Amino acid sequence: MPESWVNSGVDLHLELAGTGPRRAALRQALREAIQDGRLGAGTRLPPYRSLAADLGLARNTVAEAYSELAAEGWLIARQGSGTRVAERPAPGKRVRVPKKAPAASGAPTHNLLQGRPDISSFPRNAWAASTRRALTAAPNEAFGPGDPQGRIELRTALADYLARVRGVRTSPENIVICAGFSDAIRLLFGGGVIRGKLAVEAYGLGFHRALLAGADVHTVPLGLDEHGSRTEELDGLRGVGAALLTPAHQFPIGGPLAPARRIAAVDWARARGRVVVEDDYDGEFRYDREPIGAVQALDPDHVLYVGSASKSVSTALRLGWMVLPERLVDSVLSVKGERERWTSVVDQLTFADLITSGAYDRHIRRMRQRYRDRRNRLVDALAAQAPHIDVTGIAAGLHAVLRLPPGTETSTVKAATWLGLALDGLAGYRHPGAATAPWDGLVVGYAAPPDHAYAAALDTLCQILPHPP
């Protein structure tokens, strides 16, 4: 007789805690059953229909929970053999990499690099549903040559969403769709829309600095302290045509730009006929403070707002947006050319539906809680195993900065590499023209590792941290 859940000799007891979404509760219950050893490696789980009937859930709810746990590495689904528990370390044992043995060549064992969202949490079902609705509703002309400004459906959805969530003041006519922040840099500076030197923060992505250097843009670093970039220094700079800032959550050190410095940046742009480019790279993910609105709302004529779906949904989408002062729209479109080259019309229509249907808000709320839990586990691990290490920049975003004793950053990064732990030292983000770093540090991304490997990643992180003096 074919094996069935009834006669397979396996029984399963799950308690779905809380009053929230049943799928999330089922995922958590299965994770806990695997973690405490009740579901050992290789155990075959019941079919969707059987478990759904036992728990009083919809079959799709169970199927989606299985699929998400498989994507995270907890389960393995194979045609003809059902869904089984994946191999993993024995319960109760902590994974430790030998302290004197180098990690194997190739990919690192643990990835704590910043800027990487949880790829296993891509909203597959919501995206598929939005794609179906968007394709059904799209007019025939949508499938012709792409409008370089972007689909009106998406620009309209973004104008409403950004006003509601980030306080941005705009209309669909002032929004231009692009392929992410890097594409925005190419269009604005490589295309000559903004000319002159560019004031930047003392710390930022070297990749962005390389793009600007490739466009022959000379960057001038602003000072940085606990209140953010010293925008009062803008008045003393000559030949600067714009300032590029991350005011909601300074990258990578963290912390919002102080109100007085926001005003100073806007006053400078207004008085000199310049612009502030606002990079709102992770504005949706805030945890321990009230939302901080966009600087753009202070003066839409002199602040250019840039956002993307890279952190909130996936870097694979290559989908971003520029909210421009009206006088710059035609100049940007002239640089883009007659057709959209990079951003898929289908992705634009789908993302527009994701926003207007409310699915994007639900996804953001779910990910905000997930990343907050990840952040809390990092903080708790440091408190327990390395209480002498200060952690900063944790009120928002997908990464934290760990302050190290002076002179220990280079050796700590080398130790991380030796143990197969991928992360960055703070010095790599410093502008070459900025003052010497005030302190050593590590930039630790906590969003990307799969759940089953996160504890081991944190354990390895705590191993490589310097001991107290």
- pLDDT band for position 284 (cuts 50, 70, 90): confident
Q: Taking the mean position of all CA atoms in its chain, how far away is CA 126?
A: 19
Mean pLDDT value of segment 325-347: 91
| Residue 92: both structure tokens together | 């109760």
| Residue 252: both structure tokens together | 């990578």
Interval 364-414: pLDDT, tens:
999 999 999 999 999 999 999 999 999 998 988 999 999 999 999 999 999
Beta carbons of 317 and 347 less than 8 angstroms apart = yes
Q: CATH number for the 110-122+361-464 domain, one of 2.40.30.10, 3.40.50.720, 3.40.50.620, 3.90.1150.10?
A: 3.90.1150.10
Place of tokens 């006669």: 7
134-155 in b/e form (b: 16+ CB < 10 A) is beeebeeebeeebbbbbbebbb
Mean pLDDT value of segment 327-345: 90
List CB contacts of 104: < 8 A, sequence separation 6 or more: 420
Q: Is the pLDDT of residue 34 over 90?
A: no
DSSP E strand boundaries for 197-355: 197-201, 219-222, 224-225, 228-229, 240-245, 275-279, 303-308, 320-323
Q: Is the pLDDT of residue 146 over 90?
A: no
Residue 408 backbone phi and psi in degrees, to 5: -110, -5
Interval 443-454: pLDDT, tens:
999 998 988 899
Q: Is the pLDDT of residue 289 over 80?
A: no
- pLDDT band for position 116 (cuts 50, 70, 90): confident
This prediction's pTM = 0.76
CB atoms within 10 A of CB 50: 16
Beta carbons of 151 and 349 less than 8 angstroms apart = yes
- pLDDT band for position 5 (cuts 50, 70, 90): very low
- Structural domain boundaries in the chain: 1-93, 110-122+361-464, 124-359
Interval 79-112: pLDDT, tens:
566 788 887 544 333 333 334 444 444 577 889 9
CB atoms within 10 A of CB 180: 20
Q: Is the pLDDT of residue 347 over 50?
A: yes
Mean pLDDT value of segment 67-76: 77
When the pLDDT of each residue in the chain is averaged and rounded to a whole number, the result is 87
Mean pLDDT value of segment 220-246: 93
> Would you say domain 124-359 falls under CATH 3.50.50.60?
no
List CB contacts of 323: < 8 A, sequence separation 6 or more: 162, 168, 170, 174, 175, 296, 300, 304, 305, 306, 307
Quote helix, strand, coil % in the chain, to nearest 5: 40, 15, 40
Burial degree of 468 (CB within 10 A; 0-12, 13-18, 19+): exposed
Q: Is the pLDDT of residue 263 over 70?
A: yes
Maximal CA-CA distance, the chain: 84
Place of tokens 């295309």: 191
pLDDT score of 8: 39
pLDDT score of 88: 59
List CB contacts of 144: < 8 A, sequence separation 6 or more: none
Q: CATH number for the 1-93 domain, one of 3.20.20.70, 3.30.70.20, 1.10.10.10, 1.10.287.90?
A: 1.10.10.10
Which helix (H) or strand (E) is 161 found in, with range? helix 152-166
Rounded to whole angstroms, the Cα distance separating 181 from 183 reads: 5
Residues 353, 358, 359, 364: is their CA dihedral positive or negative? positive
Q: Is the pLDDT of residue 10 over 60?
A: no
pLDDT score of 408: 93
Tell me the range of 203-207, 292-296, 298-302 where mean pLDDT is highest: 298-302
Q: Bigger pLDDT: 321 or 16?
A: 321
Beta carbons of 369 and 404 less than 8 angstroms apart = no
pLDDT score of 80: 61
Rounded to whole angstroms, the Cα distance separating 218 from 200 reads: 10
Beta carbons of 460 and 422 less than 8 angstroms apart = no
Which helix (H) or strand (E) is 464 found in, with range? helix 451-464
Residue 375 backbone phi and psi in degrees, to 5: -60, -45
Mean pLDDT value of segment 35-41: 78
pLDDT score of 94: 38
DSSP string, 162-219: HHHHH-----GGGEEEESSHHHHHIIIIITTSS-SEEEEESB--HHHHHHHHHTTPPE
Rounded to whole angstroms, the Cα distance separating 287 from 122 reads: 21
Residues 414, 417, 422, 428: is their CA dihedral positive or negative? positive
Tell me the range of 6-15, 68-77, 231-240 where mean pLDDT is highest: 231-240
Q: Is the pLDDT of residue 9 over 60?
A: no
- pLDDT band for position 25 (cuts 50, 70, 90): confident
- pLDDT band for position 7 (cuts 50, 70, 90): very low
Rounded to whole angstroms, the Cα distance separating 288 from 282 reads: 15
Interval 128-138: pLDDT, tens:
999 999 999 99
| Residue 449: both structure tokens together | 């590792």
